[in-house]
């Protein structure tokens, strides 16, 4: 029978211990905990938890830097936490490239930076963009064209996005309708 917390009969307390049987998996398995991820514990009997990634080592690969960053939108859920932290902390202009080479230039000007913007594509494949919506749910390779300074207003980020669209011909030959 579990011990009860001192002075509280309605709360059960458990002594937790590492299991030797899973020691080789420690810090190598990424689990999708779903809703309630802020809780330190989960109810095992209330649904299976999917394994999102198996790492070769317990250490995350180093963040490649913003200039060298390139990944698939569908890989976003498996990014190391340090990468997500870096991508949420900055805003700017990004490039999506389809498997056929078509390009879309977009701004990340929200509170969750690049990662927040890319989560919209992961959720619906278009992030609210007209031409991408017409294409349906697809995966894209994403890279960062420009990092905005921390004090740059969203309107300035949109102006930088427009400049990139011109440079890359994303309106005339890409997936940008505006």
* For range 52-71, the mean pLDDT: 86
* 88 within 8 A of 114, measured Cβ to Cβ: yes
pLDDT higher for 146 or 54?
A: 146
pLDDT higher for 12 or 65?
A: 65
Q: Which residues contact 143 (CB under 8 A, 6 or more apart)?
A: 69, 70, 94, 95, 97
Residue 88: per-residue pLDDT: 95
Residue 49: per-residue pLDDT: 80
- Model confidence over 12-50: pLDDT tens digits? 666 777 788 878 888 778 777 776 555 556 666 677 888
Ordered structural domains, the chain, with CATH: 3-54 (no CATH), 70-168 (3.40.1440)
* 88 within 8 A of 116, measured Cβ to Cβ: yes
* For range 59-72, the mean pLDDT: 92
Mean pLDDT of the chain: 85
The 3-state DSSP composition of the chain as helix, strand, coil percent (nearest 5) reads 30, 20, 50
- Model confidence over 103-134: pLDDT tens digits? 999 999 999 999 999 999 988 888 888 888 88
């Amino acid at each position: 029978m579990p011990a009860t917390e001192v002075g509280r009969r309605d709360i059960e307390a458990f002594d937790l211990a590492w299991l030797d049987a899973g020691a080789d998996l420690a810090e190598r398995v990424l689990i999708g905990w779903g809703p309630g991820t802020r809780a330190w514990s989960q109810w095992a009997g209330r649904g299976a938890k999917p394994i999102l990634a198996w790492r070769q080592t317990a250490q995350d690969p180093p963040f490649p830097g913003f200039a060298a960053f390139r990944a698939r939108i569908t890989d976003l859920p498996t990014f190391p936490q340090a990468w997500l932290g870096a991508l949420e902390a900055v805003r700017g202009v990004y490039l999506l490239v389809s498997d056929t080479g078509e390009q879309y230039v977009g701004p990340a000007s929200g509170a969750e930076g690049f990662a927040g913007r890319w989560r919209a594509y992961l959720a619906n494949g278009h992030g609210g963009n007209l031409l991408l919506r017409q294409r349906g749910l697809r995966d894209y390779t994403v890279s960062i064209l420009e990092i905005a300074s921390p004090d740059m207003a969203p309107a300035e980020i949109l102006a930088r996005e427009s400049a990139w669209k011109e440079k890359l011909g994303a309106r005339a030959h890409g997936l940008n309708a505006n």
